[in-house]
Amino acid sequence: MERSGRSGKLEPPLIVSLGDLMTDVVAITEEPTADGSDTRSLVRVEDGGAAANTAAWLAATGHRTAYVGRVGDDLLGRAALPRLAHDGVVVRAAVDATAPTGTCVVVVARDGTRSMYPDAGANAHLSVDDVPLDLVTGAAPLHLHVSGYALLNHDARPAALAAMAAARRSGHSVSVDPASAGPIASVGTAVVLGWLAGTDLVLANQDEACLLTGAADPTTAGAGLAAELGVEVVVKLGPAGAAWFRRGAEPVRVPPEPAVVVDTTGAGDAFAAGFLPTWLAGGDPADALRAGCRLAARVVARVGARPPG
């Protein structure tokens, strides 16, 4: 399947980001964690959710984008969707009358690494009826990017798979970020690999790539994943940069963009927003990787997963 930049079409594609929207409660610890007691922290409430984050970064960098997902009929949901729209995202989200907007508690250690405690809320209720078929099957250039959380959640999975199938039937390209190693292990790697085999691009971090292949080294894992699935694979290597793999091609690796790490939340989401436009335009993989690393460096240098307001 040719991407829009290689098919002669001049219009850049609309990038539809499907999946989770969350409110993040971010606690950055200022001292070693005191289990069972108090740990002095900097606490902020931020917009989050992998799919919504990617859409927000795409819009902030001047690209056409839409968000598809589900929020609660509550204060958090009613505030989050207008903010996305104000930032330039086409919002096609359903509102859940019973489940709250998803929330995630993010605890960030002093070295910038983070642990996440998510409550999916309305995200878990994403349904096939919530997928705007007029959007994902239109004739205009379009790319569907799916947050793996929508696939890994049992109740939201049919909607994500339906959107992917509809986009493919219409000749549109599809990418997936597997999202998180823990839920992948719970669902089963063989099952997840089956979903990824029908895509054009997989954007995994090194833990996810190693888990999916059983390889201990992320470079070996990326090459193995590309060979097994027959799709392009990007492995996000954190402080070591990023690498691109395609069966039969030489791997491409780039170093990270220098950054002072404050909070790594949303780094992979921003990377996707940097990588995808160059990749979709048929650009050199190294240029796409560097674009991804530049946006990832911007997000880790501040608290929160979204572009500054």
Yes or no: say if 202 and 230 are a contact pair by the CB < 8 Å rule.
Answer: no
Residue 35 lies in a domain: no
pLDDT digits (tens, 9 = 90+) for 260-282: 888 888 999 999 999 999 999 99
Q: Say if pTM beats, i.e. exceeds, 0.85.
A: yes
Domains held by the chain: number: 1
Q: Is residue 174 part of a domain?
A: yes
Residue 6 domain-assigned? no
Q: Where residue 285 sits, what CATH number does that domain have? A: 3.40.1190.20
Tell whether the model's pLDDT for residue 109 goes beyond 90: no
Judge whether 52 and 75 are in contact, CB under 8 Å: no
110 within a domain of the structure (yes/no): no
Whether 286 maps to a domain, the answer reads yes
* Whole-number average pLDDT of the chain: 93
Residue 154 lies in a domain: yes
Q: Is 234 a member of any domain?
A: yes
In-domain check, residue 113: no
Residues with Cβ within 8 Å of 125's Cβ and at least 6 positions away in sequence, in order, are: 70, 96, 99, 155, 156
Mean pLDDT calculated for residue range 51-61: 98
Range of the domain at 157: 12-22+48-104+121-300
